Amino acid sequence: MKAPYPILHVAVNMNRGGAETLIMNLFRHIDRSQIQFDFLTFREGSFDEEIRRLGGHIHRLPYINESGAIQFWKSLIHFFRTHPEYHIVHSHLDKMSGFILSAAKKAGIPFRIAHSHNTQSEGSWLIKGVKWYAGHQLTRSATHHLACSTLAAQWLYGNTTSADILKNGIDTRHFHFSQAERHQIRGTLHLHEDAFVVGHVGRMNEQKNHMYLLAVFSEIIEKNKCAHLLLIGEGPLKAELKHKVMRLQLQEHVHFLGVREDVHQLLQAMDLMLFPSRHEGLPVSLIEAQGAGLPCLISDSISREVDVGANLVAFESLHHSPSIWADRALKLKRSKGNMKNWIKKAGYDIRDSASWLENYYLELYIKQEALILNERR
C-alpha cells in the first residue's frame, strides 16, 4: 500500500485560533490514507497532542523574534533542504509566508502555497514594516494562492483572480440547536433560563475590538438587567479588559471563560453572537454560530461571504454608537431549525472543504510525478 503524500503546514503555533481550527477540521476529515498533514511551528500549541494522535509530525524552529531575521532565514533553508520528503509547503502566516516560501523556493520545494486568513496586518510600525517586506517576497515565491474569502485574497495578493477560495468549513453534526443541551450548559454556567446571553469567541487583541464590545454590552445591560456576556479566548488585552469590566461595574455579568474545547456546547447557551471586529478574513466562529442557529450582530468590515443566507447575520457600522448596536442586538432572534442544509448550500460543510483540498493536493502530486517521469525518459 502506498504511503500517504505528506503536506507540510506552517503556522506560528497550533492553538485554538480561527485558522488553526480550520486546519484541524480539515485534518480530521481529509482522507489520511492519501494525505498526511505534518507541521512546522515555532511555539507549542494546544492542538499538538491531537496532531500527533492523528499521525502528524511536528517540527519546531525558533521564530524570527527569538532568533533574528538572518538566523531565521538560514534555519528555514536548512530545514527544507534536510526534509526533501515535502514537495508541498502550505503556509498560513499571511504576509510572513513570504519568508517561509522564499526559503522553500531556495531549497527547491516545487509547490509553495500561500494561504490568506486575514485582511489587515497587526502589530507595531516595526512589525508591520517587516510584514510589508515579507509580503513583497511572497509574490515571487508562492506558486499557488489560497484565501478564505475574496477580501482576504485581495488584501494579500492584490487581486482575486490568482487565488482559489477554500471555504472555512465546519462539522455541522456538532452545531445543531438542542434545547436540552442549552438547559444543561446554562445550569453549568449558573445562568438563569430567562437571561439574555451574549457571546464572543476570539483572541483578545486589537483586531477583535473587545473594548467596543464591552461598550455595546454596557448599553445592553441598561436595557436588559438580566443580560450576561461570555468571553471565550485569551490574549494580550485580557488584563485591560478585566479592568474595564470593573470600571463599568459589570463583574457579575461578564464571564471570562478562557480558551475552550467545548465552544460548540457554549454556543447553545447563547442568545446572540456579538462580533465588532475591525477586520477579519472570514471567522470560523461565525460559521459555527450560524450552524447552532445563533443570530450574529457583526461589524460591516467583515466579508458578506460569512452570511450563509439563513437570515441570522446582521451587519452594523463601527461608526454607529454602542446604543444603536444594543437596540439591534435585542431584536435579533435565534433559529431553532436544523441549519445543516444552509451551511452545506453556502459551501461551509467541512466534508466538502476537505474533499476539495484533497483533490487540490493530489493534482499537484500527480503533476510532480509526471514531471519526474518525463525527466527519466
pLDDT one-digit tens code per residue, 85-137: 999 999 999 999 999 999 999 999 999 999 999 998 777 777 778 777 877 88
Query: CA 281, CA 18: separation in Å to the nearest integer?
Result: 10
- Element holding 223 (H helix, E strand): helix 210-223
pLDDT in tens, 303-330: 999 999 999 999 999 999 999 999 999 9
Half-sphere exposure of 114 (CA within 13 A, CB side): 31
The angle at the Cα of 207, spanning 206 to 208, to the nearest 5 degrees, equals 95
Write down the pLDDT at residue 9: 98
The answer to whether the beta carbons of residues 295 and 332 sit under 8 Å apart is yes
CATH of domain 5-169+349-376: 3.40.50.2000
C-alpha to C-alpha distance for 60 and 38, rounded to whole angstroms: 11
CA angle 334, 335, 340 (to 5 degrees): 135
Q: Does domain 172-345 have CATH number 3.40.50.2000?
A: yes
Residue 1 is predicted with a pLDDT of 62
Backbone dihedral angles phi then psi of residue 147, each to the nearest 5 degrees: -155, 155
d(CA 112, CA 91): 8
pLDDT at position 217 is: 98
| Side chain identity, residue 196 | F
**Residue 121 near residue 95 (C-beta atoms within 8 A):** yes
> Is the model's pTM score more than 0.85?
yes
How far apart, in whole angstroms, are the C-alpha atoms of residue 76 and residue 85? 15
pLDDT score at 375: 66
Query: What pLDDT is stored for residue 136 in this prediction?
Result: 83
List where CATH 3.40.50.2000 sits in the chain. 5-169+349-376, 172-345
Q: Which residues of the chain have pLDDT under 70?
A: 1, 371-377
Task: Report whether 155 contacts 131 (CB < 8 A).
Answer: no
In this structure, the strands spanning 35-41 and 58-60 are parallel
Please give the mean pLDDT across all residues of the chain. 94
**Residue that the C-alpha cell 487583541 belongs to:** 205
Contacts of 172 (CB under 8 A, 6+ apart): 291, 339, 340, 343, 344, 349, 350
At residue 377, the pLDDT reads: 60
What pLDDT sits at residue 337?
85
What pLDDT is recorded for position 137? 87
Are 283 and 303 in contact by the 8 Å Cβ rule? The answer is no
Residue 358: closest CA among 1, 95, 29, 9:
29
